[in-house]
Copies of this chain bind each other. A is one copy, B any other.
Amino acid sequence: MSSIEQTSTQPPPRGDKRLVRQSANRASYERVDLYHVLDACPIGHVSFVHDGWPQSVPTAIARIDDHLYLHGHPKSRLYLALSSGERVCVSACRVDGLVKARSAFHCSMNYRSAVVFGTGELVGADDKPALLDRFTERLIPGSLDDYRPYLAKELKGTALIRLGLDEYSVKIRTGDPIDDDEDLDLPHWAGVIPIESTYGSPQPSANLNTAVGVPESLLAGVDP
């Protein structure tokens, strides 16, 4: 785990890997913003260094209390890197809208992004079942009461990794385009086209017994 705990909400010093240098006015170093972004992103891009190359792997992530969790096969390259204490970076981003300005130069996107640096540690067997439950519930809200129990071989075959949220930065853009003052009266449209991500109706599996309905809790969990 990192020895530097990020308790300050001030920008880190010049040269620090967390420091957001571009559009720094959109940066945040506040934990509440970090949680907000991570909780909106089901996928994180985990990067590590392998054979001299940066390597990034998209994978499911879940923020639970003060840690970020990832799971997978214990023999995968990603989990070997994470469990052996290699330095990793996890980035996550959600796009909320296209920002059209009067000039192409000032076009942008509205987004929420986070970058976390750290080293992973394997979750032990005692803590694993309860944390896997919370992981599942984060990814498929409302589904937790609708599974058969874990098999011993499943618990053994799933590596659950915990990453401290000690070193991070957050970047968020919201709102209108920011055009040059001299462009404001040009006859070009400016504004935001929202991007909305919603759950569709649950589609039953082809082999589902037709007598089995969708649990109420799952319907509530994926209700927009």
The answer for the CA separation of A49 and B50 in the assembled complex, in Å, is: 10
- CB <8 Å contact, B22 and A95: no
What's the Cα separation between A204 and B189 when bound, in Å? 7
A219 → chain B, closest Cβ, in Å? 10
| CB closest residue in chain B, given A19 | B77
Q: Is A72 at the interface (CB under 8 A from chain B)?
A: yes
Q: Which residues of B contact A88 (CB under 8 A)?
A: 54
Query: Does A206 count as interface, using CB distance less than 8 angstroms?
Result: yes
Does B189 lie within 8 Å of A213, measured CB to CB? yes
A interface: dominant SS: mixed
Could you pull out 8 A-B pairs where Cβ atoms are within 8 angstroms? A22-B73, A43-B95, A45-B45, A58-B92, A58-B113, A105-B150, A187-B212, A193-B203
Residue pair A188, B200 in contact (C-beta under 8 Å): no
Residue of B nearest to A118 (CB): B53
Complex Cα–Cα for A177 and B54 (A): 32
Q: How large is the interface on A (under 10, 10 to 19, 20 to 34, 35 or more residues)?
A: 35 or more
A197 and B197 in contact, given A104-B133, A212-B187 (Cβ under 8 angstroms) = yes
- Would A206 and B47 count as touching, CB distance under 8 A? no
Contact call B55/A47, Cβ cutoff below 8 A = yes
Contacts of A206 in B (CB 8 A): 176
Extra A-B contacts (12), CB below 8 Å, given A184-B209, A190-B204: A47-B47, A47-B89, A54-B54, A54-B56, A54-B88, A55-B115, A100-B202, A104-B147, A105-B151, A105-B154, A188-B212, A189-B214
